[in-house]
Amino acid sequence: MTGRNFRWLGFSLFAGAGAGLLSLTSMINSAFAYGAPAVDSDPPIPFEVMGGSGLPTPSTELVDELQSLYFPSTALFPGQPTFSDVDPNALTTPEQFYPITGVNQLPLDTSVAEGLSILNETIAPSLSAGDPVDIFGASQSAVIASLEMEQLEATDPTAPASFVLIGDLMNPNGGIFERFDGLTIPSLGLDFYGATPADDFPTAIYTLEYDGYADFPRYPLDILSDLNAVEGINVVHGQYLDLTPAEVATAIQLPTSGATDTTYYLIPVNDLPLLDPVRDIPLIGNPLADLLQPDLTYLVNLGYGDPLYGYSTDAANVATPFGLFPSLSDIEMMPGLLASGAEQGIENFIGDFTGSGPNPVDLSLNSLTSLMDSSSGTTSALPDLSTALANFASDPALPLTEFADTLSSDLSTAYGTLLPTADIADAFLTALPAYDASLFLDNLSDPINAIGLPIAADMGLGILLANMETDVVATAAETILSSISP
């Protein structure tokens, strides 16, 4: 895992989170879903809390924080159910994801299968006795929870189970595992499982806008939308508990079609993840990003359909795979939107320098002086010569020992880079062509889709795999640089 933050399937990023929760209206609390509210004398309802990749066992502090945020004992918003009768429990599951959590880790499909078995064993006694259980899943563990729903649908569709999911890769209209349902990448242990069931069990699913795992574009021929979604994996997917109550209160309850037991919430994001690297540029970064963002937002959003929204506005509970083109009516909106967006961008750019823009630039003397101070934050990667000479004089064999240790570490790092790189290359050379062939054969009756869908799939999945490779290389580079630092 590297500083690029590709890693939250990593639920460990939750550790320093802020507070806030949207209304959980019409879901989860078993007292609401399965009869009259519990009284104080009733036994508490088990609430199994799973972590995500990189965090097999959520800490007690984290479970307490989650309880205050996602199943509070007192309502934070009007109409919100409360959960004074639940007993949160940190459930240990593997939560490994090769190569994101390490080269010697389990692949995702194996980790998910083991996690599902553990969850089954944990909740089976309660369900067999007819007692309710609540389950919390985040990212990888949201997949585990979704597969648990599938099993219960097949074996016990009236089981008193409720679910809360965050960053769900199987989100029916946006989850990347549903967008490319049916794809398998054996070399990386990736199975694209399809959609989280929408019926039978009271469930709430929370999604941050532009989270590339849970809110992937519907039309991946829009390369800007793909790039933004993958950058959203890096910088948005780990932010669910960094939100303030005011930010969570802006969440939108998404429309659904027909009867469903699931409530879907979309939490808007103010800035495009794609522009985060631009915003990191000192002084001029925010003004440049604010200049580009209005038009770029419309171009990115077109990958979801309606250019006004960074998510699909169709029914949230309907499993929706990727497609080829947005509707003609959506495309016809673009010229007018781009014209108004250009005007807004120029206004924002100027406003940032005059103090009226969204990100006013600090042009004070102290700010400019600190930017020009190159001495801050810089260190030499080369060992101090005098220290090296002193070490050699005291123990001539010491430099050789240090060299051997460094070489061993670097060889291990090289192995940790080359093995995932080979597996990612294998995905490009075998899994994607096989998936393309299946798309082509399934759409022979429609030549446009038969040719276009494989191209669209390769566009979105290629960018996803390239991002994974970049993360692997960045991890190796960080390891090697740290090994040669004094």
Q: Classify each residue of 423-456 as buried b or exposed e, where b means 16 or more C-beta atoms within 10 Å of its C-beta.
A: bbeebbeebbeebbeebeeebeeeeebeebbbeb
Dihedral angle of Cα 433, 437, 144, 139, to the nearest 10 degrees: 60
State CA 346 to chain mean position distance. Answer: 32
Cβ neighbours of residue 262 closer than 8 Å, sequence gap 6 or more: 27, 196, 198, 199, 201, 202, 203, 204, 205, 256, 317
Question: Which two three-digit tokens encode residue 125?
Answer: 């006694």
What's the CA gap between 467 and 8, in Å, rounded?
14
In degrees, to the nearest 5, what angle opens at C-alpha 261 toward C-alphas 257 and 267? 75
User: E strands, 45-183, where?
Assistant: 45-50, 86-91, 133-138, 161-166
Please check whether residue 399 is in contact with residue 385, taking contact to mean a CB–CB distance below 8 angstroms: no
Question: Which two three-digit tokens encode residue 115?
Answer: 């996690």
- Residues with catalytic roles: 139
